[in-house]
Amino acid sequence: MNIRKQTPIVPANGFTLLELLVVVAISGILLGVGVPAMGALIERNQFKAEVSALHRAVALSRSMAVYRGEAVSLCPLTSSNACGNNWTGKLTIFTDSNQDGALDPDEATIEIVSGLPQSSSGLDRRHSRASAIMFRPNGSAFGHNGTLKVCMDGSTDLSATIIVSGAGRIRLGEDSNNDGLVEDSSGDAVTCS
């Protein structure tokens, strides 16, 4: 008598069409919810990084004026090395011995802060005065207040101010009236347009 050994039936490895459709549907739902949230997270992180870099640049300007014992300016320079008004471009921190708001050949560049990246659609920064942010050797800001405003266009909750007092105190603006908008040094809400 011939006894044959039976081969066990092994299920095929893989997915059925129904299982594949369920996985694709769930993946589509997760991507539909996650991608917009990821975009908002990236935008918020880019905004916070810009505010932090600008705050550090102003603080460095003040500390270098005290450390070096001479006036130090922070501003965007034009092609003629005079302070300009394009605060979205690169900013230069330099010794300003004659306090004229221009980088002269005998004055030193301390640091260059990069401009806003071209990919940052809507990110903007502006200064409330047409002049440079200038600090004296004692750390004061030449007796006038100034406000740097950073905004993400179209977003009311992504605005910030860096306020420099005449005494040289540097602080971030706050939302003191809890309306969701940060105020400048005058107490006016910062609006981004």
Confidence category of residue 12, pLDDT binned at 50, 70, 90: low
Q: Which domain holds residue 62?
A: 18-68+120-172
In a domain, 8, yes or no: no
Q: What CATH number corresponds to the domain at position 63?
A: 3.55.40.10
Query: CA nearest 129: which of 143, 153, 152, 145?
Result: 145
In a domain, 4, yes or no: no
In a domain, 145, yes or no: yes
Average pLDDT of the chain is 83
In a domain, 92, yes or no: no
Query: CA nearest 154: which of 191, 120, 179, 112?
Result: 191
Q: What is the mean pLDDT of residues 27-54?
A: 85
In a domain, 164, yes or no: yes
Distance CA 50, CA 39 (A): 17
Q: What is the pLDDT, as a whole number, of residue 121?
A: 58
**Looking at the 3D structure of the chain, how many domains does it have?**
1
In a domain, 97, yes or no: no
Query: CA nearest 144: which of 172, 111, 175, 185?
Result: 185
Q: Does the pLDDT value for residue 190 go beyond 80?
A: no
In a domain, 137, yes or no: yes
